[in-house]
Structure 1
């Protein structure tokens, strides 16, 4: 179902949820746990840094692992060589020794970004306040959430295997989760929106809901290919830089078969039976913050292609095509990496998935 931004229901839900979450966050109760969970090594992962609370509310903790699937990730400033930080936000009252189990939302960050940045923590905690939901944000750097075709001197960069076959079972083994498809959802922003659809399409048995916040979903688009190549070549996206064929192979015909095969927009059939949602603006005033405006405008084009293919396949979906953001959330002007827009996206998406995910 495609939903227009002018629909009063959408506007009311987004604004009310944002205001309620923002008000409640200031007085958020501490988690029932005073000591963060302890994680044990397994599934090819070594826990190199045990969970530690990020602040006194005892809702969000970070921990670090090393992985045999991505032993040498590229790094952004502040990251440690050979390690992957993972941020987890627990529901209020979480008790690791209790009988209650919680569904899990995997939230994939964009590039350049990290899972444990302050804005990712704020958006997650606000959107999930008062909600019986665990949120997990794993490291992704410039991964494009894929098993790389030509990682070269970096060695294995099997990000899809790392996240789906290592991180997910590690979380299920160490937290009180609902460890089934019915208790699991995935979403992401920008590169992370690509990753969410990519993972859900490849492994539909793992997820019951998928979302994209301004994701670049169409690898057949030459503009989207240019965006991927830019992240490979730019040191701002991680160091060391890599070649233009590192992730998906050469981006030009007739050598671009992997690009075509891995494009989420054209491979939506496996999402049938899953909840699907997309959120995107049009960039708003293109003279205001033009880089972020143009990136969002182009991301919208990939969402339109994806929505058309979902419709043609008869797959129901929510599509918040919110234009310049003025009717979506206060402070949102339709730009690409704008916290008020992303907060409204996450607020609405959490409301959707909690109507579907299994609780126990």
Structure 2
């Protein structure tokens, strides 16, 4: 196996997906979000999957949102459907859940809408600090306000919501549940950082954003962990934990950094070393933050389903397996009925 294939598995290298344009029936004009964000285009990939183009003031650009609708869905229906918001990780994009998992087949067995928005390569799913000036990009505003409003005003999405994510998307799912209490009935994280102010983690996060995310000055995201510690803390699931009471929670991560059951068994030495560096070290750090977060929840008496599984790298093989364990718990929390 080539080393590029190993890195591709770990980073979730995008694949080109052909699109089939399916004409939509005439529908009323899209209703914009409060900010003025609006759906400006749609492309149906198959009868239940559509890519939306959203012009968003929060980001200052047009961004993509992939949506899976259930059987029997109609934009003109009198009813609404519960919604799962699925967030991707760094160095990935809005197609990653349909590219790297069989989420279409899993979702098809339930009466649920799945929304997979663009989260930015290295946006960290937050409204950027920008040396205290604020301004774009405002990823949290885009995802928690604009996208949610557009889904509920135009796609018959209900207020029965769950959020899940892999890697930085997992951090986002739990962080949003804490920062916006009552918005999500369930939050699930697969290898997401659950304690971003844990000693050693801020410097590791800044390094990752600079080297792997290509952010020239990563302190623009949350600020300096020294002088802007309050902002880091305000986006830290560990410190947001008391605000998660009443929200269903699922977290998972590896802890050892060693290869696990989803890694190839025929890696050459250099490929193994690359995997340990890229996927192993990062997962070991992530795992430590999950253990810390779980301990914090236990101390507060807040229930959590936690699968801290030991060996395994930071890659989709584990996230695919883990989201399937969390899925029925999310469906129960948002009242999504099994249909198949």
Deviation readout 1:183-231 (Å, 9 max, x if unpaired): 1111111111111111100111211111111001211134432343134
2:22 maps to 1:44? no
From 266, 279, 286, the counterpart of 1:299: 286
From 144, 162, 185, the counterpart of 1:164: 144
User: Counterparts of 1:311 and 1:62 in 2: how far apart (Å)?
Assistant: 40
2:258 maps to 1:284? yes
Counterpart residue number, 2:310:
323
2:55 maps to 1:66? yes
User: Counterparts of 2:95 and 2:336 in 1: how far apart (Å)?
Assistant: 26
Scaled by the length of structure 2, what TM-score is found? 0.80
SS in 1 for 2:298: helix
Query: Are 1:279 and 1:345, in contact at CA under 8 Å, matched by a contact in 2?
Result: yes
User: Counterparts of 2:42 and 2:101 in 1: how far apart (Å)?
Assistant: 19
User: Counterparts of 1:284 and 1:119 in 2: how far apart (Å)?
Assistant: 27
From 133, 149, 161, the counterpart of 1:184: 161
From 127, 130, 133, the counterpart of 2:106: 127
Deviation at 1:123, TM superposition (A): 3.7
- Report the number of matched residues: 299
Cα distance change of structure 1 residues 151 and 44 upon mapping to structure 2, 3 Å threshold = farther
Counterpart residue number, 1:249:
223
Counterpart residue number, 2:325:
348
User: Counterparts of 2:235 and 2:133 in 1: how far apart (Å)?
Assistant: 23
Deviation at 1:168, TM superposition (A): 0.6
User: Counterparts of 1:135 and 1:45 in 2: how far apart (Å)?
Assistant: 23
Unpaired segments ≥5 residues, structure 1: 1-32, 72-81, 325-333
Counterpart residue number, 2:8:
none
From 313, 326, 333, the counterpart of 1:335: 313
User: Counterparts of 2:73 and 2:259 in 1: how far apart (Å)?
Assistant: 43
Counterpart residue number, 2:242:
269
User: Counterparts of 2:35 and 2:100 in 1: how far apart (Å)?
Assistant: 27
Cα distance change of structure 1 residues 120 and 204 upon mapping to structure 2, 3 Å threshold = farther
Deviation at 1:112, TM superposition (A): 0.9
Cα distance change of structure 1 residues 274 and 231 upon mapping to structure 2, 3 Å threshold = same
Deviation at 1:303, TM superposition (A): 0.5
User: Counterparts of 1:227 and 1:113 in 2: how far apart (Å)?
Assistant: 19
Cα distance change of structure 1 residues 120 and 276 upon mapping to structure 2, 3 Å threshold = farther
User: Counterparts of 2:145 and 2:97 in 1: how far apart (Å)?
Assistant: 27
Counterpart residue number, 2:126:
146
Query: Are 2:70 and 2:110, in contact at CA under 8 Å, matched by a contact in 1?
Result: yes
User: Counterparts of 1:121 and 1:174 in 2: how far apart (Å)?
Assistant: 27
- Which one is further off, 152-161 or 310-319? 152-161
Deviation at 1:135, TM superposition (A): 0.9
Query: Are 1:39 and 1:51, in contact at CA under 8 Å, matched by a contact in 2?
Result: no
User: Counterparts of 1:345 and 1:280 in 2: how far apart (Å)?
Assistant: 9
